[in-house]
Structure 1
Amino acid sequence: MSSSENIENIPLEGKIISDGLEIAYLDWQATGQVHDNLLVLHPNGFCAGMFDPIARLISENYRVVGVDLRGHGASEEVLDEAALGNDLMASDVLKVMESLRIDAFSILGVSLGGAIAIEIAAMAPEKVKVLMLCEAIAMDFDSRKERAEFLEEKEHPLAVGARRRRSTWSDREEIQNSYGSRKPLDALEPSVLKAYIQWGFVDRGDGQVELACNPETEATIFGSRERYGPPSTFERLSEVKAETHILAGKQTDLGKVWFEQQAKEINTEVNWIQGGHFFFFEDLERSCSLVREFIG
């Protein structure tokens, strides 16, 4: 199907093999003759499909590619802590872009996706034009140490929450009613939540639906102190050559110092946006404006 025939701009779906794993991606073809390439990377536990409403709205100016990070969405399940490093995820994503023969692109990364964006920009500086980091999970040693001391080696609270997450539901309507009525997903633009429920759950043979991302995968990424994670990625920031914009929510429940330290590391300022940790997904019109402002 050509982009001119794809009136609704339904994304093309594909998979590659990277490091022995199936890695899935979505490709929203640009509708305009002149366009830029934009790679979008999702938060921990989510999937590329949640960008669908936004990708459709900006398709006149951007070809948008979203990758399901290993262990997420339609990509192959990964439970091994050693195989869930940010560096390995970044390598997967680069292989997707190479398979699509996209040699130059900008990156929009949210939360974990922002961390992977940093890794990609450090690995392949000749390919990345602009980075838009929305609450990227990358922190320096001091803030990570302080956090570890605060937790006193107890399990990370987000990991605890992930392991308690209900994985099987009767249908998508039940998920929509549940997720849409409680924090933090009640703040999402309804179409974004609907897209996540569409792409982030799989249909089972018994008629029920199940989380595509195993809660144990999400928990391991949140809670691991050993995997290649936030402190290592913070160290890569100084290697990034691309124009970089740091964005964070004014009402974020994360430590604002993390984003201030990121900005200081690359000699810039934090762009504080109304909203919480998922501010980018809270208002579609604003999301599109932010992309045009910071990606160009």
Structure 2
Amino acid sequence: MSNPTPISHPLIRSGEPTLAVHDWGGTGAPTLLCHPTGFHGLVWAPVAAILVEAGRRVFSLDFRGHGDSEETPGGIYHWEGFADDVLAVAHHLKIAGDPSLLAVGHSKGAAAILLAEEHEPGAFARIFCYEPIVFEGSELGLDSVAFSDSTRAIDPLDNPMSRGAMRRRRIWDSRDQAFDAYASKPPLSSLHPDALRAYVDHGLRDVPGGGVELKCHPDHEASVYAMGVMNGLWPLLPGIKAPTVIACGESSDTITPAYAAAIVRRMPNAELLTMPGLGHFGPMEDPGALAAAILRFAGRPAAD
């Protein structure tokens, strides 16, 4: 199936990065899709197409420093900012607080939704999180005060994900060259071709003189990973009351089923969904399975 083309527009904010907002169409209950670190809101194309066909009104966004949204001055990406992005877009679209609104997030995008709902209870009627990035402080050797301080700046070199991001190739001869390279080896070789194509087509920009470059600068991606361990979400989980699915891939080594279950136990209205055969990139590995799980959750009675 070919990827749909949304209508995109900028959300200009005073004193904050301008955000790219994508409207996938549809006429039903609203759904807001939030992407992981290093990606962008258009990578949801295969999932969005299924949700629109099923009768949902679908939106997504590019977080600050990703896709066509502006970068954060100084290149430091505190995760409170991503929560602010989610809330800003929801209010801009006039869907915050809608009793039929479903917020869907993957990895950092899922964590941003949870942070946003804790900051503004009732913003999202239901939440579907695929492997939200949540760290229990003691696992990282952090004391409780430091762990809850999401404003600290962290050295990216202290984080293996950050080190990997800083080594990422930024310049390619063409999008097709990048697509072929990504498709040939992990981790992106596990992505569905439509999701990978959306990532490449919209995640790289043309550069003067020829070639393309990643829109999400590797140094900024490294900052996101570095600050992620300090996002302060773990102690906030008990205060998030919205009905929530915490989904994970059966074979994931990022948020394992056992760790996802620990997240669920801390939340008053959450349930675990383990998805067979999927890893951390599940929403992009099997968009059909992810969309079906979202629709099952969205279609349940509110009291369920």
Q: Same fold (TM over 0.5)?
A: yes
Q: Report what 1:16 is aligned to.
A: 11
User: 1:48 corresponds to which letter in structure 2?
Assistant: G
Q: Report what 1:217 is aligned to.
A: 220
Query: Is 1:159–1:219's contact at 8 Å kept on the other side of the alignment?
Result: yes
User: 2:242 corresponds to which letter in structure 1?
Assistant: A
Query: Is 2:133–2:255's contact at 8 Å kept on the other side of the alignment?
Result: no
User: 1:28 corresponds to which letter in structure 2?
Assistant: W
Give the number of equivalent residue pairs: 277
Q: 1:217 to 1:112 in 2, by over 3 A?
A: same
Listed as ranges, the matches of 1:203-242 within 5 Å are 203-224=206-227, 229-230=230-231, 232-242=232-242
- Residues in 2 aligned to 1:127 and 1:253: alpha-carbon distance in whole angstroms: 31
- Residues in 1 aligned to 2:264 and 2:73: alpha-carbon distance in whole angstroms: 32
Task: Say yes or no: does 1:179 pair with 2:149.
Answer: no
User: 1:261 corresponds to which letter in structure 2?
Assistant: A
Q: After the TM superposition, which parts of structure 1 deviate over 6 Å for at least 4 consecutive aligned residues?
A: none
Listed as ranges, the matches of 1:230-269 within 5 Å are 230=231, 232-256=232-256, 257-267=258-268, 268-269=270-271
User: 1:144 corresponds to which letter in structure 2?
Assistant: L
1:44 aligned counterpart, secondary structure:
coil
**TM-score (structure 1 length as normaliser):** 0.87
1:142 aligned counterpart, secondary structure:
helix
Q: Report what 1:109 is aligned to.
A: 105
Give CA deviations for 1:208-230 in whole Å, capped at 9, x if unaligned.
Answer: 11101010111111123xx7843
Give CA deviations for 1:17-38 in whole Å, capped at 9, x if unaligned.
Answer: 23331111111110x4xx1111
**What are structure 2's unaligned runs of at least 5 residues?**
143-155, 300-304
1:160 to 148, 158, 163: 163
User: 1:251 corresponds to which letter in structure 2?
Assistant: S
**TM-score (structure 2 length as normaliser):** 0.85
Task: Say yes or no: does 1:66 pair with 2:67.
Answer: no
2:31 aligned counterpart, secondary structure:
strand
User: 1:178 corresponds to which letter in structure 2?
Assistant: A
User: 2:37 corresponds to which letter in structure 1?
Assistant: N
Task: Say yes or no: does 1:89 pair with 2:82.
Answer: yes
Task: Say yes or no: does 1:78 pair with 2:72.
Answer: yes
Q: 1:280 to 1:9 in 2, by over 3 A?
A: closer
User: 1:49 corresponds to which letter in structure 2?
Assistant: L
**What are structure 1's unaligned runs of at least 5 residues?**
1-7, 147-152
1:92 aligned counterpart, secondary structure:
helix
- Residues in 1 aligned to 2:259 and 2:47: alpha-carbon distance in whole angstroms: 27
Give CA deviations for 1:48-100 in whole Å, capped at 9, x if unaligned.
Answer: 01001211121132111111111111011236365x22222111221122222
Q: Report what 1:53 is aligned to.
A: 46
Identity %: 29
Task: Say yes or no: does 1:44 pair with 2:37.
Answer: yes
How far apart are residue 154 of structure 1 and its match?
6.4
Q: 1:112 to 1:196 in 2, by over 3 A?
A: same
Q: 1:290 to 1:48 in 2, by over 3 A?
A: same
Query: Is 2:241–2:267's contact at 8 Å kept on the other side of the alignment?
Result: no
- Residues in 1 aligned to 2:157 and 2:164: alpha-carbon distance in whole angstroms: 13
- Residues in 1 aligned to 2:24 and 2:40: alpha-carbon distance in whole angstroms: 15
User: 2:74 corresponds to which letter in structure 1?
Assistant: D
- Residues in 2 aligned to 1:228 and 1:25: alpha-carbon distance in whole angstroms: 27
